[in-house]
Structure 1
């Protein structure tokens, strides 16, 4: 017996050791198999590190579990900067036998713990989740995974869905999900649990849910053959609002069929309050509530391009009440009945009916009703009546640091149809009166008082011509300063108005009472304006029938914000108004550190403000002693350097501007006496006779900057450059460094007339591969020395007078195409030798030049004399001209200098001298030129191909930059999730955290 026990224990120990050792024995094989399957299946960058992989047979025996930490997937272009998936810890379970011995490994479980998923769909429908390779005809190219998953677990996941094709955005945080089922079967049940923070759900610019806790627990009946998913009774909640959802969703090839029913479960008035923004806060747990609530409805029918499901949503609240802890007054007697219904498949026939709505704010009753028959003719019947004592608000809602007084009286009715074609509007009788308003903030000693607003909106007949808005009085006082006014608008056909405003506002005091985060604003705005007229006269430009007169002034204004950290200060500004224009008579300001004054006028301003698609016209004269453009560059977080970004110009502005600046600092340039005229029209900025002193000379330019396509902003200029320093141009201008690197070792000045065009990158610098131009460069006198090219030529030719070059009266014809500068063949003297030079410099820094020189044989020294003596019957002497063809390749900093017609100067001289006495008399330089041109054509073709590729790449990068405005919304959502999950206090819940994306590239 004892022996049997030992044998059993030994066998058990052996099996235990085998189970522990098996993953390690076969780890390399398992990892190699998984890695191979990923490479065959996934068209994306998969980031993981073998050192972060562990294997176990105990987690889900008899399956083997592979756990991977810091796993991520990043898309290929155009999604190369978007992390589709990042997982802190990712576990997959496999059938061990299938991995080791079967042809098809079987995946049985998925476990995700911590991480983020970012799904992005572009406007053209391309999606970053589309990372599988297209199916191939060859069977061997398809993935060999078998999916036999029976368990899915997700913990602490952040999920963002950004669909720009549908204009739909959803951000979820702290997602918890668990599901079990026989996922390989066609029909099975899936018990499912899920929790998440709904940070944001927005569709077509309208936000539907924000900052809500969701929980769900249900069983889904899955029918994969018919793509039908049925929900049995379950428990769902949004914050404290509980509801049930049952029915089914079926997805065919083109339609989605819904048959869903929902209803509230065990809810009270408190439940619906938890969905109201601002109420569901830290103090919600202590909120006193009473009252009943009922909620139910259905969503039933076909959804496709032409049909929308019918629905019926009902909400009823009876005897609702809530009161904040430690505040004396409640909101009580809340009665609400609401139905949103559509029994057709046309969403426009939706009906909204609120027959009952009433509540008491403390002792102030408010009641109303609304019936909206449809979304086509907008037949409406509504009423809102109530009085509100503002002083009681602070005893109902927690409003810290603010004292309110005054009475707000509202009485409004609307009944009828809105039809813009038939010129019909509902009959309206609406009155609002705010009397003796008072606002006192603890942040400022003086109150806003005598705040009065009296407004009436009246239309008894339903005709546009009988419409009247009468804002007969509005105004307030603040610290001995007051502003008041009135406005009357009548007849919606002619849009007649008559109004006035007079007084002063101290912005610094207003900001102390109503502060704005990260914003400072100070100064006084004074106005005394009267206006009277009709829009019909504006349309017909009958300005003599309009009467808009008065003046407005600004004193000691200062504004700075997070988006404008440089700040703008207006010491004094004055404008007077006439019916046809606004005259800016004085404008003394400092934008950032740069002083700026201006005068001018604006015209067509009435059309611009009152009508769509109108253009504001104007003329401005701008002056500055010193304007620093660098201060308005944007800071790059990645490089911590300043760089410009593409400046978008408005298309509805038609301005003519004259500029006069004594000094302008731009990038590393110091520009003096900057003068010129600019025109901004239809989104294009044009320059005319813009002149400046720079780089030791004078520059005059005409041309345009066109950013209408933000992904490919264009420029097209004509430059007249007079006596610019060659050395300074090389030091300050990157284009010169690339296309004319020879300028590094040149001293002197140059002039040119050059037509120059191309594309700008997102840093507002020219894309070198896009440049085109044509002109002539004139050099009066220059010296060229200490150059790698000269050193190379001296070393090759062994000429003893080539260390320095002097140039006089050079005229160099150049062309630039696709970023390649070409020098047309030009005759000049090099080292007192007659020469012809041609070639090109590429945007990649490459050079390719041919120098054909005629050098007297005697200049080559003893080697030439010896050769002369050995050639029988020669007529050559030391003055005989030797054709020397020198090729310059490589880059300017590392040139490759060669000889055409010989491998060395000795062979060149021998061939040249023999050709002088032979009957063939070969033209060595002609042959060298022919060979050079063939090589140059090949180089140009290659560079053109590269230029097109680089421009395409730049455009894709620009498209990404342009889309960053939407990407910012994603980043803001991520920040909201981090902040809310990290800091938000939720009733009966522990704050959660979201781990930052720490995806690292490992071996893959």
Structure 2
């Protein structure tokens, strides 16, 4: 007996050790197979660390589980900056027997714990989830599928379809499904929950910040592509409903047969869907009343048909009251039905025969009926009174006091037909009398707030339509504002209105606070306007009469986006039908004083119609303007970004600024005329004193293609300091590094064009320029280049060269500066220089000098003495040719042809002795130009590659701007959901 126990125990230990050892034995095999399968099936960048794949037999015995952490997929262009999938932890299960005995592993389970999915579809239909190989390249997977469990925990999901203008963001998605996925027909018990952060379609938001839960038995028929919902429970917040029926995917369209109905719901359930109601205190809300919700969605959805539907909601005796407040909302009764019995959406009807409730002691009731979406036959009414003081005892409005009465009495009946000029007969009146608003953060209230408005159309004809806001006004600390507005004739939209009074912006901000904003100052207005929108459409602006004036005094504004602040001491604008005149504008933007005058024309057309151009002129003056202040935020620098200019503004500006601080430049007497038209900013006679001289500029900045904004300038630079130009301009540093060791001034007329990077700096590889550089007098000293030249040639010269009256013709094309041959004296020697500098800092120059033989010292005298019969002497000119390569700070200098200085002297002297006609320097020059052509071709290829890289980066940044809604959704998800450790950008990229 004891022996049997020991044998059994030994067998158990062996089995246990085998189970523990199996993952280690087969780890390399499984990891390699995973890596190979990913490479064969996914055409995208997959990142993970193959060395961090862990295996276990105990997680889901008898299956063996492989777990990877921080794995994800990054799309290919144009989605190279979008992470399609990231998983904090990803586990796949395999059939153990298939690992040990079969050639192909069998996949049995998938588990995801933490991560995100970002699906993106561009306007042209390209999608970032299209990452499988085309059919002709497809490699058959060797995995066998027998999945019976899928688990997802804590995944954020964003779907951004720009083609359909549809956006959905889900947070903390949890789901679990169990079934035999290998069968054609199977049942799938499914559980899921998520935060519906946002669902928006064509600019309309349908759901936001709602909690979803669901549990159902999904019957899957893969042969017919039919998915049927069995009994299940679904909930959005506290609203519970059942969904049953099926969704099928035939060859064309989608076939629906879905039924839904409320499940164990009360009036409190529907309240949980009302924005602002579903808070932490929702569970304490005192409610009663019954609710019934049911309907169906049935038929084919395709390009030509829409499913029929019938949705009904009924609430009886609804009641709710906040636990700490004295008054309820009671006797809530709503009966609503939306239906369409055909396959044409235009036949939709809406019926709300009952709508009523009591706000405290004040009843509100109404009804509405819409026959269809073709003739728009409708009938409706709304009537009631609200005591604003009672609202604060019904809803928790902390720190605010309200008073006044709001009366509404409206009814409408008829049809809307724009062609027949018919609208429903309407009689609506709204009165807000003696209202009072006081906020705890500001002791002074808004008083005597009165609004009297009516909408009338007794005949149903558009020309009898009237909106009369006969009275609007309020008082705030002895300052009042009042106005009126009347709109008549729905087809012509004739208006007649006026507003006058004073508003203290600081007081208004105290009553209605806005986060991180400081604002103060007074607005004084006296405006009247009269006209017709028909006249606006047809351009008859002489019939429009808008006149008056607006004044602003002691205004100050600052916010997180504008930390520098703007202060307007005084501003005055006068309105007339054809223009707005800015007669005075005295301000300080940040620390820079700024004055302006000017006018705007065509402003009514610009405001009231699309694709109209706002025209105007503006004169700007300042004693000192600090641009750097607008390039930084707090202590952190903000990079310059490409500025997109509006294409519907035609504006001319004259600028006169005594001093401008920009980056490390101090610009004096800045002046010129700027014209903005069709999205292009042109400069005319723009000038300034800078860098010790005068700069005059004409040209244009064209950012219409945000990925490659262009510039084209004609510059006249007079008496500019060479060292200051080197310190200030990156183009000088790149193409004229020799300026680092030059003192003196220069003049030039140069045409300069190219594209700008996203930091608003010129892309060196794109530059094109042509001009003549003139240097009256300069000194070149203390250069490693000079030291290398004197050391190579053995000339005993100083490390300083003086230049006088030098003219250098230059041309920059595709990022290569070509210096055409020019004569200059180096030390006391006549010289000729030519060559090029690349945008990447490389140099390639040829220097031809004529050096007297005696300047080479003893070796030249010895050679002269040994060569019999020579007519050469110490003053005989020896041609010396130098090749300069490498970079300016790390030059490679050699004697042309590669000979030593001794060989050069011997060859030159014997050449004279034998009376050879061959010009040594001409030979060297031809060899240099042949080599230079090859170098330029290589530089041009590098320039094209660099420009392509800049273009892709620009496209990425432009795409980032378009994706702001996605970033906002991601921020919302981060704020609502539990924080998780940040994932790394990549761990390993598998590009096989």
* TM > 0.5: yes
CA distance in 2: counterparts of 1:616 and 1:907, whole angstroms: 75
Instruction: Write out per-residue CA displacement over residues 345-381 of structure 1, whole angstroms, 9 at most, x where no aligned residue.
Output: 3434433332322222122222222233344554433
1:164 corresponds to: 162
2:9 corresponds to: 9
Q: Which deviates the most, 230-239 or 861-870?
A: 861-870
Instruction: Write out per-residue CA displacement over residues 49-92 of structure 1, whole angstroms, 9 at most, x where no aligned residue.
Output: 45643221111222211222333333344434333333232221
CA distance in 2: counterparts of 1:635 and 1:20, whole angstroms: 58
**Residues 507 and 617 from structure 1, CA distance in 2 versus in 1: closer, same or farther, beyond 3 angstroms?**
same
CA distance in 1: counterparts of 2:452 and 2:702, whole angstroms: 48
Aligned length: 990
- 5+ residue gaps, structure 2, are none
Secondary structure of the structure 2 residue equivalent to 1:282: coil
CA distance in 1: counterparts of 2:284 and 2:692, whole angstroms: 75
Aligned with residue 145 of structure 1, among 117, 138, 143: 143
5 Å-filtered alignment, 1:206-605, equals 206-538=204-536, 545-605=543-603
Please, what is the CA RMSD of the aligned residues?
A: 2.3
Instruction: Write out per-residue CA displacement over residues 843-893 of structure 1, whole angstroms, 9 at most, x where no aligned residue.
Output: 111111222223333332333333344445544443333332222111111
2:825 corresponds to: 829
Aligned with residue 686 of structure 2, among 680, 690, 695: 690
Contact 2:631-2:637 at 8 Å conserved across structures:
no
Instruction: Write out per-residue CA displacement over residues 279-309 of structure 1, whole angstroms, 9 at most, x where no aligned residue.
Output: 1111210112222212122222233344333
1:155 corresponds to: 153
Q: Highest relative contact order (Cα 8 Å, sep 6+), 1 or 2?
A: 1
CA distance in 2: counterparts of 1:303 and 1:208, whole angstroms: 20
Secondary structure of the structure 1 residue equivalent to 2:760: coil
1:730 corresponds to: 726
Q: CA deviation at 1:830?
A: 2.4
Q: CA deviation at 1:535?
A: 4.1
2:709 corresponds to: 713
Structure 2 residue 877 is matched with structure 1 residue 891: no
Contact 1:752-1:777 at 8 Å conserved across structures:
yes
2:808 corresponds to: 812
Structure 2 residue 33 is matched with structure 1 residue 33: yes
CA distance in 1: counterparts of 2:700 and 2:275, whole angstroms: 50
Instruction: Write out per-residue CA displacement over residues 669-717 of structure 1, whole angstroms, 9 at most, x where no aligned residue.
Output: 1111111111122222211111111111111111111222222222111
5 Å-filtered alignment, 1:41-60, equals 41-49=41-49, 52-60=52-60
Instruction: Write out per-residue CA displacement over residues 142-193 of structure 1, whole angstroms, 9 at most, x where no aligned residue.
Output: 5433332211111122222222232222111121111111112222111110
Structure 2 residue 666 is matched with structure 1 residue 680: no
Structure 2 residue 659 is matched with structure 1 residue 663: yes
Instruction: Write out per-residue CA displacement over residues 414-455 of structure 1, whole angstroms, 9 at most, x where no aligned residue.
Output: 333434444443332222111111111111111111101111
**Residues 228 and 451 from structure 1, CA distance in 2 versus in 1: closer, same or farther, beyond 3 angstroms?**
same
- 5+ residue gaps, structure 1, are 983-992
Contact 2:310-2:338 at 8 Å conserved across structures:
yes
Contact 1:680-1:686 at 8 Å conserved across structures:
yes
Q: CA deviation at 1:18?
A: 1.2
Secondary structure of the structure 1 residue equivalent to 2:58: coil
CA distance in 2: counterparts of 1:349 and 1:995, whole angstroms: 52
**Residues 136 and 498 from structure 1, CA distance in 2 versus in 1: closer, same or farther, beyond 3 angstroms?**
closer
Normalising by structure 2, we get a TM-score of 0.95
Structure 2 residue 933 is matched with structure 1 residue 953: no
1:197 corresponds to: 195
**Residues 700 and 30 from structure 1, CA distance in 2 versus in 1: closer, same or farther, beyond 3 angstroms?**
same
CA distance in 2: counterparts of 1:495 and 1:555, whole angstroms: 34
CA distance in 2: counterparts of 1:749 and 1:818, whole angstroms: 27
Contact 1:440-1:513 at 8 Å conserved across structures:
yes
Secondary structure of the structure 2 residue equivalent to 1:217: strand
**Residues 756 and 330 from structure 1, CA distance in 2 versus in 1: closer, same or farther, beyond 3 angstroms?**
same
CA distance in 2: counterparts of 1:631 and 1:758, whole angstroms: 27
**Residues 537 and 89 from structure 1, CA distance in 2 versus in 1: closer, same or farther, beyond 3 angstroms?**
closer
CA distance in 1: counterparts of 2:411 and 2:863, whole angstroms: 114
Contact 2:695-2:715 at 8 Å conserved across structures:
yes
**Residues 810 and 378 from structure 1, CA distance in 2 versus in 1: closer, same or farther, beyond 3 angstroms?**
farther
Aligned with residue 1001 of structure 1, among 970, 977, 987: 987
Contact 2:470-2:485 at 8 Å conserved across structures:
yes
**Residues 53 and 540 from structure 1, CA distance in 2 versus in 1: closer, same or farther, beyond 3 angstroms?**
closer
Secondary structure of the structure 2 residue equivalent to 1:124: coil
1:624 corresponds to: 622
Normalising by structure 1, we get a TM-score of 0.94
Q: CA deviation at 1:912?
A: 3.3
Q: CA deviation at 1:736?
A: 0.9
Q: Which deviates the most, 546-555 or 452-461?
A: 546-555
Instruction: Write out per-residue CA displacement over residues 288-343 of structure 1, whole angstroms, 9 at most, x where no aligned residue.
Output: 22222121222222333443333222222222221111212221222222222233
**Residues 837 and 496 from structure 1, CA distance in 2 versus in 1: closer, same or farther, beyond 3 angstroms?**
same
1:852 corresponds to: 848
Contact 1:30-1:100 at 8 Å conserved across structures:
no
Secondary structure of the structure 2 residue equivalent to 1:644: coil
Contact 1:74-1:80 at 8 Å conserved across structures:
yes
**Residues 537 and 975 from structure 1, CA distance in 2 versus in 1: closer, same or farther, beyond 3 angstroms?**
closer
Q: Which deviates the most, 227-236 or 905-914?
A: 905-914
CA distance in 1: counterparts of 2:245 and 2:66, whole angstroms: 38
Contact 2:81-2:956 at 8 Å conserved across structures:
no
1:124 corresponds to: 124
2:81 corresponds to: 81
Contact 2:299-2:307 at 8 Å conserved across structures:
yes
**Residues 112 and 445 from structure 1, CA distance in 2 versus in 1: closer, same or farther, beyond 3 angstroms?**
same
**Residues 529 and 368 from structure 1, CA distance in 2 versus in 1: closer, same or farther, beyond 3 angstroms?**
same
Q: CA deviation at 1:135?
A: 4.8
Secondary structure of the structure 1 residue equivalent to 2:231: coil
Contact 1:158-1:994 at 8 Å conserved across structures:
no
Aligned with residue 865 of structure 1, among 861, 877, 881: 861
**Residues 228 and 777 from structure 1, CA distance in 2 versus in 1: closer, same or farther, beyond 3 angstroms?**
same
CA distance in 2: counterparts of 1:378 and 1:685, whole angstroms: 49
Q: CA deviation at 1:238?
A: 0.5
Q: Which deviates the most, 919-928 or 880-889?
A: 919-928
**Residues 344 and 566 from structure 1, CA distance in 2 versus in 1: closer, same or farther, beyond 3 angstroms?**
farther
Secondary structure of the structure 2 residue equivalent to 1:79: coil
CA distance in 1: counterparts of 2:460 and 2:597, whole angstroms: 47
CA distance in 1: counterparts of 2:721 and 2:912, whole angstroms: 45
**Residues 432 and 714 from structure 1, CA distance in 2 versus in 1: closer, same or farther, beyond 3 angstroms?**
same
**Residues 97 and 900 from structure 1, CA distance in 2 versus in 1: closer, same or farther, beyond 3 angstroms?**
farther
Secondary structure of the structure 2 residue equivalent to 1:210: strand
Instruction: Write out per-residue CA displacement over residues 489-512 of structure 1, whole angstroms, 9 at most, x where no aligned residue.
Output: 223444332222111111111111
Q: Which deviates the most, 90-99 or 563-572?
A: 90-99
Instruction: Write out per-residue CA displacement over residues 723-780 of structure 1, whole angstroms, 9 at most, x where no aligned residue.
Output: 1111001111111111111111111111111111111111111111111111111111
2:95 corresponds to: 95
Q: Which deviates the most, 658-667 or 865-874?
A: 865-874
CA distance in 2: counterparts of 1:50 and 1:536, whole angstroms: 70
CA distance in 2: counterparts of 1:673 and 1:413, whole angstroms: 67
Secondary structure of the structure 1 residue equivalent to 2:790: helix
**Residues 909 and 377 from structure 1, CA distance in 2 versus in 1: closer, same or farther, beyond 3 angstroms?**
farther
